Amino acid sequence: MLMQRELPETVAHLDAPIGAEATISVIMPVFNAAHFLLRTLPPLVKMLRRGEILEVIVVDDGATDGSAAVAAELGARVISSGGRLGPAGARNVAAAQAMGDILWFVDSDVVVRDGSPARIRAAMNETEVVAVFGSYDDRPDAPNFGSQYKNLLHHHHHQIGKRDASTFWAGCGAVLRTTYQKIGGFDAKRYRFPSIEDIELGYRMGDAGGKIRLDPALLSTHLKYWSVPELVRVDILRRAMPWARLMLNRSDVTDDLNVGMIERLRAGLAGLALMLVLATLGGLVPLWTPLAAFAMVLAANWKLFSTFREVRGAPFAVSALLFHQLYYLYSTAAFVWCWFEARIGRTVRA
């Protein structure tokens, strides 16, 4: 199994470009996702039969719902992770057996689109590019509020993010196999559950000299159902807090995607809006103040609001934008908590 190792002095000059004929191994970690596989595997198997990809490897990570049998019946190569390792460890197991020049990671609840292998090869053929990732489309499968909000937010950030990315996304992202091997794969020891293992991998690829490309046209559909309580829990415990700790350990706050400088300013505006609302309730400021606060929030988040409105209409857009202010508040609180945690830790060690 691939384990995290010391970084090489560089990987970029050794690994790219690789040419338009590079072979691709698809790697899909699976845990109790049989119902998703009926929709996510057929497009990949069609690509396999057309010769666009070399293999489709499904890693059975201790599933108990017959996922392995479903995957085998649909035409994938099925291997076992040897136990419940989590997606990071499961991907490492498959990567050690993969034969392709490129490792294309696809989550079990993600439906890829035709043309994706060509886009991946084109990106990898650019000088020093060692990884590429895409974006969810604007048609998330589950119709409930939490799923629509979460997936459209992801779509928005990946559509406007920097093309030369500083992180990586393993929901639908590809890495040169040689680069993956040299930097030691995913950190399965630190991330035993779905978390920011792909972000951390992206940092190491960048540290080793490789470029990561964000291709907003590399689209896929997300099938996951998000309830509001679940998305808040995951945002805080599996995303905001571990990402904050990672950035603080690196002394490098990422200026991209949903943690960029503009996003941090919007988070500050959400905090100011909350204080103005509380001040209004306390009779400290005029009643029109919350309306002014909402106008400021709307102006600062107009592109996101427009995305919500175009897909789901104005009522959803308003409610999603208001909920997004809560997202800013709990994400900021998580970062502040981790900052104090780090400060206290350094004080104790001193």
What pLDDT is recorded for position 346?
56
| DSSP tally for the chain: helices H, then strands E | 14, 9
Show the tokens assigned to 33.
Answer: 């996702």
Phi, psi (deg, nearest 5) at residue 267: -65, -40
What pLDDT is recorded for position 254?
67
At residue 284, the 3 state secondary structure works out as coil
CA gyration radius, the chain = 21
Phi, psi (deg, nearest 5) at residue 211: -100, 145
DSSP 282: T
What pLDDT is recorded for position 98?
97
Rounded CA separation 156/309 (Å):
12
What pLDDT is recorded for position 258?
62
Does domain 12-225 sit in CATH 3.90.550.10?
yes
Q: How do the pLDDT tens digits run along the chain, 350 residues long?
A: 443 333 444 554 444 456 668 999 999 999 999 999 999 999 999 999 999 999 999 999 999 999 999 999 999 999 999 989 999 999 999 999 999 999 999 999 999 999 999 999 999 998 889 999 999 999 999 999 999 999 999 999 999 999 999 999 999 999 999 999 999 999 999 999 999 999 999 999 999 999 999 999 999 999 999 999 999 999 999 999 999 999 888 877 666 666 678 888 899 999 999 998 899 888 888 888 888 889 999 999 999 999 999 999 999 999 999 999 999 999 999 999 999 988 887 544 43
Cα–Cα distances (Å) from 300 to 273, 287, 304, in that order, read: 12, 22, 9
Tracing tokens 């060690």 back to the chain, one arrives at 349
What pLDDT is recorded for position 290?
82
What pLDDT is recorded for position 9?
46
What pLDDT is recorded for position 57?
98
What pLDDT is recorded for position 342?
86
Show the tokens assigned to 203.
Answer: 């940092």
